[in-house]
Structure 1
Amino acid sequence: MKNLKLVTVATCLLTFVMSLNMSAQSNMMKQETKMVGGAEMYPTKNIIENAVNSKDHTTLVAAVKAADLVDALSSEGPFTVFAPTNSAFDKLPKGTVDNLLKMENKMMLQTILKYHVASGKWNASDILKAIKKGNGKAQITTLSGGTLTAWMKGKAVYVTDENGNSALVTIANVNQSNGVIHVVDAVLLPKS
């Protein structure tokens, strides 16, 4: 009889702890889930699993597929992605995207896309700390081997490429299971 009571108490305690854990996870998901391109971005999904659902990132997803980077960006990471929107790609000279998506330009496309990705998880607070530590500028080394410079204007965070072109971070801290995405309004280009 004592064993049955102990088992019952242990079962109740375990159920209670599990419900607290599930509640905490549910609250965490609600806090971290963000809307991007009309779709919820779940922190339990990886960069690719979320990006394919954003109607604002169809060009980026097509480019990632054409560059054969889907597996890389689905891997464990962590990665920080500065993700240009479709309208960011539209700002490029006419025909640029179509040209980059051609098989013969795959290496160039890979370089450009990797220029938007840094190793590690750089949340907005990490970037802001680095900007403060760097006296107003933070250097971020990308997977392509290039450098992006983060800086602030008022409360807005910008990222500048090696050619002096800047992109505004429009949505920060879109957490992923393998990193974080910061949505940007321009395509960043490595030094040519």
Structure 2
Amino acid sequence: VKANETASATLAGATSAVMGKAVAVLAGLNPDSYADMAAVAASQTAMAAVINSEAARTALVSSSDARKALKASSLAVEMSLVSSDGQYWNSAGTKTMRGLILYTKAGNTDNAFTITKVDSTTLASNNNARNAATSGSTGYKDWLEAFPNSSWVLSSITFYAYYRTTKIKYIPC
């Protein structure tokens, strides 16, 4: 599917039911076990299989229905990244993790949270391309929509942050 442009485009536009079954197949799971994308996104077993399949990961971030189901997943948890104010402002912090980043939050309106690396991939050097917070806001930034190709974390993220309220919301896999 990934190598075939037509098949890839068809899958990206598939309904939630079709996408859920397709992702299950791509992840090596029984598609009859998953009614739709919501079922895949709510299953720890399915998400553990998906993160181990590049084709399944690519399919998920390529589909707006799949991204919507992932953002509504009951498996999503919030995690603080900084244990004390100023901890990683002058030097990078690293968080060992494995999962899908859905949202990011600086927790302060000065926008002091930037993810610079996902696993071994350095994100663009332009601050607007890698900033993990919405300028002037303490709310969550939709990371999955802004950076779908940098949302799957297989081992760690590297970041600069300042406040204890710096958080991510993600699905651990």
**Structure number having the greater helix percentage:** 1
Q: Specify which structure has the bigger relative contact order, considering alpha-carbon pairs within 8 angstroms and separated by 6 or more residues.
A: 2
Q: Decide: shared fold, TM above 0.5.
A: no
Mark the structure with the bigger radius of gyration.
1
- Compute the TM-score of the two structures, normalised by the length of structure 2: 0.26
- Compute the TM-score of the two structures, normalised by the length of structure 1: 0.24
